[in-house]
């Protein structure tokens, strides 16, 4: 059972998250032949103040 964890900054729409889940599932199906029903995708919405880039939070960078 393939299990994919995706870390993204918060702020994506539900529609965007659905697209990520669909495309990651399809990629695992194509790459390793995993049946779609066995693929699990976990999206972690990370608060912008908890994501650092070059020593500065993503929130402070305006991301």
Position 57 confidence tier, pLDDT thresholds 50, 70, 90: very high
What's the pLDDT score for residue 51?
Answer: 96
Q: With pLDDT > 90 as the criterion, what percentage of the chain qualifies?
A: 100
Question: Any catalytic annotation for residue 2?
Answer: yes
What's the pLDDT score for residue 56?
Answer: 97
What's the pLDDT score for residue 9?
Answer: 96
Instruction: Using the structure block, give the residue that is written with the tokens 């779609």.
Output: 36
Quick: pLDDT tens for 9-29: 999 999 999 999 999 999 999
Long-range Cβ pairs for the range 23-32 (8 Å, 24+): 28/2, 28/4, 32/2
| Identified catalytic residue from 1, 2, 25, 29 | 2
| Contact call for residues 14 and 53 (beta carbons, < 8 A) | no
**Domains of the chain and any CATH numbers:** 3-61 (3.30.429.10)
- Phi/psi for 13 (5° steps) reads -80, 165
């Amino acid at each position: 059972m393939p299990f994919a964890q995706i870390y993204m900054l918060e702020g994506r729409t539900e529609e965007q998250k659905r697209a990520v889940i669909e495309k990651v599932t399809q990629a695992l199906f194509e790459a390793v032949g995993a049946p779609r029903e066995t693929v699990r995708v976990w999206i972690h919405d990370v608060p912008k103040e908890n994501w650092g880039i070059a020593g500065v939070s993503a929130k402070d960078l305006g991301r």
